[in-house]
Amino acid sequence: MHLGKVMVVFGTRPEAIKMAPVIKELKKVKDINTIVCVTAQHREMLDQVLTLFKIKPDYDLDLMKEKQDLFTITAGVLGGMKTILEKEQPDLVLVHGDTTTTFAAALAAFYLRIPVGHVEAGLRTRNKYSPFPEEINRTLTGRLAELHFAPTDTSRDNLLAESTAQFKIWVTGNTVIDALLDTVRDDYSFAPELAEIDLHKRILLVTTHRRENWGEPMRQIYQALIDLVDEFPDVEVVFPVHKNPVVRDIALEMLGQKERFHLIEPLDYEPFANLMNRCYLVLTDSGGLQEEAPSLGKPVLVLRDTTERPEAVQAGTVKLTGTNRQRIYQAAYTLLSDPAAYEKMARAINPYGDGKAARRIAKVATDFLYVRVGAS
């Protein structure tokens, strides 16, 4: 029995990482035709993930443009997806998480009355400007979706609070854990560009990129890092610097000439995941790292005032510091000087699943298509 077509749509590196296990599981189902469409909202960072996970897109909108803004991306995805969806007429469109690609692709599918499945559904801060624009992208996608794949019970409860029907929600765990466990190896050999990093030292792995942290908040973050390196001679900072000039200019100005700071180009997912496995502590304003690092027993300090992943805070695997220099310094100082505090965070149970989320999502999608075929 031919069950129909599932189209998987994503646009950025984090989405590609999290959707790769879903694509892999869907392609195991012989009665489903799985179509992959990328918008390439971030071209270079996306391509290396496609190569790593051996994903060959059927469609590529190639939207990446210099100095693109949210208006350009939204219009590009909406128009591009209209053409593709009208041609393929999929029975289900799967989108992921929180980016502008997610919302615009879901909206295009809705306009054509095609059901949408939302992977990593239900993450909320209840502050529409933090994170921006992800919070609203997620919320609007949630109103458009027919199937909601919530990573945790907390995410499910958020959806229920918005009057999402319970029978449309599945708690699956987070697919990023599936991808991570398939990528990290204890015997991984790093490339020569990382040779200067002394992995016997305590490595602070740092990432910053969020719009709400541009400007003075980033300066506060970087000054706290300087304070920490000055305080602890056995600490080195590894900072894959985001391509955005707003981030890069401040990072180079403040940290470029500092000893024991390694400002490197953004890493491909495989070396980054394995570097995370070897680091001591993660400081980030990213969303995904709040889920990934605890799976490897690495405490995470979140350089934001809010998080859409409160279950991680509750579980004790991450701590919110905001962007205040002193608060960041004190939180990191405690973990660097108090072994008991470090072990408490490192050993806390990660709430984001067991590495079988993609299998559960593929099963629900298959069942959904089976019912549609039977009803047609």
Tens-place pLDDT, residues 163-198: 999 999 999 999 999 999 999 998 898 888 787 888
CA angle at 297 for the pair 331 and 127, rounded to the nearest 5°: 55
Which tens digits make up the pLDDT trace of 217-250?
999 999 999 999 999 999 999 999 998 898 999 9
Residue 242 bears catalytic tag: yes
Share of the chain above pLDDT 90, in %: 77
Contact 81, 108 (CB under 8 A): yes
Contact 80, 104 (CB under 8 A): no
User: Quick one: pLDDT at residue 375?
Assistant: 62
Residue 304 bears catalytic tag: no
Residue 262 bears catalytic tag: no
Any idea which of 42-56, 81-95, 110-124, 311-325 has the lowest mean pLDDT? 42-56
Going by pLDDT thresholds of 50, 70 and 90, the confidence category of residue 372 is confident
User: Quick one: pLDDT at residue 258?
Assistant: 94
Mean pLDDT of the chain: 93
Q: What is the DSSP secondary-structure string of 326-357?
A: HHHHHHHHHHHH-HHHHHHHHTSPPTT-SS-H
* Identified catalytic residue from 43, 146, 202, 211: 211
Which tens digits make up the pLDDT trace of 306-352?
888 888 999 999 999 999 999 999 999 999 999 999 999 999 988 88
User: Quick one: pLDDT at residue 376?
Assistant: 61
* Token couple for 26: 């869907």
Check pLDDT > 70 for residue 1: no
Residue 211 bears catalytic tag: yes
Residue 209 bears catalytic tag: yes
Residue-range domains of the chain with CATH: 4-173+356-375 (3.40.50.2000), 192-346 (3.40.50.2000)
* Identified catalytic residue from 25, 91, 134, 268: 134
